[in-house]
Amino acid sequence: MPDTPDDPEITDGDGGSGADRPARAKKKLSFWVELPILVAIALVLTFLVQSFVARVFVIPSESMEATLHGCPGCVGDRVVVDRVVYYFRDPEPGDVVVFERPGTWNRSEFTADRSDNAVVRLLQDVGSVFGLATPDEDDVVKRVVAVGGQTVRCCDDRNRVTVDGAPLDEPYVHYDPEVGGTTQEQFDPVSVPRGMLFVMGDNRNNSGDSRTQGGGGANGLVPVDNVIGKARAIILPPSRWQGVGDHDPQAAALSAPAWQTGIPAGVGLAAAWPVLWLGRRASALLRPAARREPDRTPEVTP
Q: Which of 50, 79, 86 is nearest to 64 (CA)?
A: 79
Run of H or E residues at 49: helix 31-52
Phi, psi of 111 (to 5 degrees): -115, 125
Catalytic residue among 61, 142, 207, 210: 142
Peptide bond connecting 155 to the previous residue in cis, omega within 30 degrees of 0: yes
User: Considering just the CA atoms, what is the radius of gyration of the chain in Å?
Assistant: 36
Query: 17 an active-site residue?
Result: no
What DSSP designation does 175 have?
-
What DSSP designation does 148 have?
T
Q: For residue 141, give every residue at least 6 positions away whose Cβ sits within 8 Å of its Cβ, in sequence order, or none.
A: 57, 59, 63, 64, 68, 79, 96, 97, 98, 99, 231
B/e letters for 248-257, b = 16+ CB within 10 Å, e = fewer, are ebbeebeeee
Phi, psi of 234 (to 5 degrees): -90, 125
Catalytic residue among 17, 28, 51, 63: 63
Q: For residue 119, give every residue at least 6 positions away whose Cβ sits within 8 Å of its Cβ, in sequence order, or none.
A: none
Query: 28 an active-site residue?
Result: no
Centre a 10 Å sphere on the Cβ of residue 276 and count the other Cβ atoms it contains.
10
CA pair distance 89, 51, nearest whole angstrom? 18
Please list the active-site residues.
63, 142
